[in-house]
Structure 1
Amino acid sequence: MTTNVHDFSVNKPNGEQVPLEEYKGRPMIIVNTATKCGLSGQFKELERLHQDYKEEGLAVLGFPCNQFMNQEPLKDDEMTEACEINFGVTFPLFAKIKVNGEDAHPLYKHLKSAQKGLLSSEIKWNFTKFLVDQDGEVVKRYSPQTAPKKMEEDVQKLLNQ
């Protein structure tokens, strides 16, 4: 059986486990985040996509990561609050994870194998974004520098399938 995103579970900041099969039938944007990153302005654009398309089914899922120059030093509960206050984030942020290396979260191992990067499959920086279709298949990977608004056309195509 082929593995897809719906086969994984992730943890909320409080430790509660969430099976991603809860998102079956909904396209997702999965992104590794960091509150102290120079690209943190993307939180606002991701939130706008969340607000504009959540009624149509889009789910934006944030996965804080501290593997890139310690740009996510906050604890899970502090980080969620900081994102709400500083960036107006209402989409779900999960417990901090690793996206690279042997200890990378299994979800990220899957994402990277499904959509390799330009030079390798490793995540290069915070705000690498993956677009996942309603069936849990990873359809596209976007670089950290790609503004979330540049994903909007691809999101709309998935929502109109």
Structure 2
Amino acid sequence: MNLSRRDVIAGAAGLVAASPQALAQAPAGAHAFGFDRPGGGQLSLADYRGRPILVVNTATRCGYAGQMATLEQLWQRYQSRGMMLVAVPSNDFGGQEPLEGAAIAEAARQSHGATYAFVEKTVVKGPQAHPFYRWAAAERPADTPRWNFHKYLIGRDGALIGGFPAATDPLSPQLVQAIGRELQVG
């Protein structure tokens, strides 16, 4: 396709002339993505626009699975202040998520008291990764999941604030402070 200089300038002018309302309604960053829920439906990150979102890839048979209880403590501490917590079960690291669907959330609830949102088991690394994880990898190539329980903090505006590796405890000062900063914005 050959575009003339006039076509390019006209297209750019159209972008500049877009109304602020249209730009505000356009999906931005993480808010452009959603995850399948066990049993059907979607968990759309856009539904949490204006709130910080912590997205964590989980696995019930991982040595870090105890973090599900610590994530619950974090959830209990910050959900009333607006934080959203999304568990994204994955079998990508060591085949440590043998369960499927709602059985994953139920196992996490029984073993660790987890009451936050769980989505369907999802691929989080490589070319077959869920679009959210491909976007996050492009945004922060040095902060990609290298094991289960990698944590991504999404800002109120949908921007990727940071990535926290598996060994980072959910109640670590650096993660708690980052969440606190996002909760104070606005």
TM-score tier by shorter-chain length is over 0.9
Counterpart residue number, 2:91: 66
Give the letter aligned to residue 140 of structure 1: G
Query: 1:15 Cα shift?
Result: 2.4
Runs of 5+ consecutive residues of structure 2 not aligned to the other structure: 1-25
Query: 1:101 Cα shift?
Result: 1.7
Match of 1:138 among 141, 145, 160: 160
Contact 2:58 2:87 in 1 (8 A): yes
Determine if the alignment matches structure 1 residue 147 to structure 2 residue 169. yes
Counterpart residue number, 1:126: 148
Q: What percentage of aligned pairs have identical amino acids?
A: 34
Query: 1:94 Cα shift?
Result: 0.3
Contact 2:43 2:119 in 1 (8 A): no
Counterpart residue number, 1:37: 62
CA distance in 2, matches of 1:3, 1:113: 15
Contact 1:15 1:95 in 2 (8 A): no
Question: More relative contact order in 1 or in 2 (CA 8 Å, sep 6+)?
Answer: 1
Contact 1:130 1:142 in 2 (8 A): yes
Shifted more, 1-10 versus 134-143: the winner is 1-10
Give the letter aligned to residue 152 of structure 1: V
Counterpart residue number, 1:160: 184
Query: 1:116 Cα shift?
Result: 2.3
Counterpart residue number, 1:113: 138
Deviations 1:77-130 (A, max 9, x none): 21111011101000001000001122100011111221222xxx6421000101
Moved over 6 A (4+): none
Runs of 5+ consecutive residues of structure 1 not aligned to the other structure: none
TM-score (norm 1): 0.93
Counterpart residue number, 2:11: none
TM-score (norm 2): 0.81
Contact 2:27 2:46 in 1 (8 A): no
